[in-house]
Structure 1
Amino acid sequence: MLRFSANLSFLYPDLPFLDRFRAAAQDGFEAVEYVSPYDQPAEAVAEILNETGLRQALFNLPAGQWDAGERGIGCLPDRREEFQEGLKTAIQYAKVLECPKLNCLAGIAPTHASHAELEAVFVDNLSLAAAMLADEGILLVIEPINLKDIPGFFLSHTDHAERLLERVESPNLKIQFDLYHAQIMQGDLIATFKRLHDQIGHIQLADNPGRHEPGTGEINYFNVLRAIEDSGYQGFIGCEYTPLAGTSEGLHWMQPFR
């Protein structure tokens, strides 16, 4: 049986952030995830998790100035100190929220730096983060993101993610396999998932085009999710999509897998 996590940065957009937890629990979700908890006191988030019985599946390391368009700082040469401080903050939150996984966003590649320089910075940051998180029992994941939604994003393909894992050489670093991003950049979702199965630490989904719920686009989610279920994948699958006609109203796609 598959287990689904409600991404509260996308689902229940009409509700205040903390009220989204209650809505997710009422709709039968077992866990939640989101871009960032850092604008809320960790204790307040922990309290709502305890109240609803939800588990915290995942959130991102601090990703820079999100409202200004930044999408991570992992590869940025002039942000190493900020990355290290953000890592400490993320660990503090993860411990309070009992969160087992953190996602490191690579960031948008600056035009003044070479690919080799950016990759060297990213590898150094990932090596540090993977080691520190391993000491806390927290898994680190990295996410390829499509270049249509975030032009210039440094990590956009699973092949690149594999190379980064090889360079870091840590069992505490895995891939966050977002099916929506992968469909746009490379397709071949089932074969790619099967090939990378042992290197995947978290999964997210949305349909394409539109980034709405499964069943609204071109991805055959019945087959894709059956392949994931048959693989024995034990983690949560994050529902990171923009509801087409309301979150609760659009959850019928999930019933065959619950």
Structure 2
Amino acid sequence: MPRFAANLSLLYQEVPFLERFHEAASDGFRGVEFLFPYDHPAQEIRTRLDDAGLTQVLFNGPAGDLAAGERGLAAIPGREAQFRDGIEIALDYADALGCRQLHVMAGCPDAAESPERCHATYLENLAYASGQASAHGVDILIEPINPRDFPRYFLTRQDQAHAIRQALGASNLKVQFDAYHCQIVEGDLAVKLRQYIASIGHVQVAGVPARHEPDTGEVNYPFLFRLLDELGYAGWIGCEYRPQSTTRAGLGWLKPWLRATAAK
């Protein structure tokens, strides 16, 4: 049965960040993910995880100046030193939190930048990150993201991501399959899952097109959850959506899956 992780950057915004761990556990989640941990000491987050009995599933490496619109550095020429410093910080957090997956964001290169140069930079940076992460027992994840939400984001398609993974050949480099982004860019979700499941390290869900609860919008998530079981997917499913009202009020979609898991 699927294992669901609450994304604490988007869910439970009714309470401060460090209180969201307890809220998620109270609602039956056993794993959590979030975007960035760096505003809080790693040991404080670890304490919240342990107190709530939660597994830290995933977080993002440092992504540059978010307030200025930066969304990662991996494919940005000239920022290699800053990227490497960020990987070191992220792996320190991963060790402290017991987290075995790190999402490395590609970024949004300037329109005047050469795509070929961005691609070469991306490969070089991912090779470095995968090598460093391997010594920590951490997988590096790359995620195709739709350009409607992130204009000029470098990585947008599943075939692009898997070609990069194959070109580098690092066993700990995997693809993060976000069904929300994939549906917007290319659709054909079930076919993509069947095609690429062996190289998918993490799955995320949200309703399309508004990024609300998974039981809203155009995607048949119960079908996809059953398909993931059929395909033998053993990872987590990250709930990375924006609740329409309060988080708890919108969790009706999740309760049957939690009951089924508890009955196993």
TM-score by length of 2: 0.96
Q: Count residues in correspondence.
A: 258
CA distance in structure 2 between the partners assigned to 1:233 and 1:162 by the alignment:
17
| Structure 1 equivalent of residue 116 of structure 2 | 116
CA RMSD of aligned residues (A): 0.8
Q: Do the aligned residues in 1 keep the contact of 2:14 with 2:246 (CA within 8 Å)? A: no
Unaligned runs of 5+ in 1: none
Structure 1 residue matching 2:56: 3-state secondary structure:
strand
Give the Å deviation of 1:201. 0.5
Question: Which 4+ stretches in 1 moved above 6 angstroms?
Answer: none
Q: Do the aligned residues in 1 keep the contact of 2:60 with 2:104 (CA within 8 Å)? A: yes
Q: What do the CA deviations read for 1:94-149 (whole angstroms, capped 9, x no partner)?
A: 00000010000000021221111001000000001111111110011100000110
Give the Å deviation of 1:30. 0.6
Give the Å deviation of 1:215. 1.3
What amino acid is aligned across from residue 43 of structure 1 in structure 2?
Q
Identity %: 44
Give the Å deviation of 1:252. 1.2
Structure 2 residue matching 1:77: 3-state secondary structure:
coil
Q: What do the CA deviations read for 1:167-209 (whole angstroms, capped 9, x no partner)?
A: 2111110100000000000101011001000010000000101
Give the Å deviation of 1:257. 2.3
| Structure 2 equivalent of residue 75 of structure 1 | 75
Structure 1 residue matching 2:195: 3-state secondary structure:
helix
| Structure 2 equivalent of residue 252 of structure 1 | 252
What amino acid is aligned across from residue 169 of structure 1 in structure 2?
G
Matches within 5 A, 1:155-234: 155-234=155-234
The answer to whether 1:150 aligns with 2:150 is yes
What amino acid is aligned across from residue 141 of structure 1 in structure 2?
L
CA distance in structure 2 between the partners assigned to 1:186 and 1:30 by the alignment:
31
> Greater shift after overlay, 170-179 or 224-233?
224-233
Give the Å deviation of 1:25. 0.6
Give the Å deviation of 1:69. 1.4
| Structure 2 equivalent of residue 31 of structure 1 | 31
Give the Å deviation of 1:219. 0.3
| Structure 2 equivalent of residue 12 of structure 1 | 12
What amino acid is aligned across from residue 210 of structure 2 in structure 1?
G
Seen in structure 2, the aligned counterparts of structure 1 residues 197 and 140 have a Cα distance that, compared at 3 Å, is same
TM-score by length of 1: 0.98
> Greater shift after overlay, 152-161 or 165-174?
165-174
Give the Å deviation of 1:78. 1.4
Give the Å deviation of 1:158. 0.5
Q: What do the CA deviations read for 1:24-72 (whole angstroms, capped 9, x no partner)?
A: 0100101111110011000100111111111100001100111221111
What amino acid is aligned across from residue 248 of structure 1 in structure 2?
R
| Structure 1 equivalent of residue 87 of structure 2 | 87
Unaligned runs of 5+ in 2: 259-264
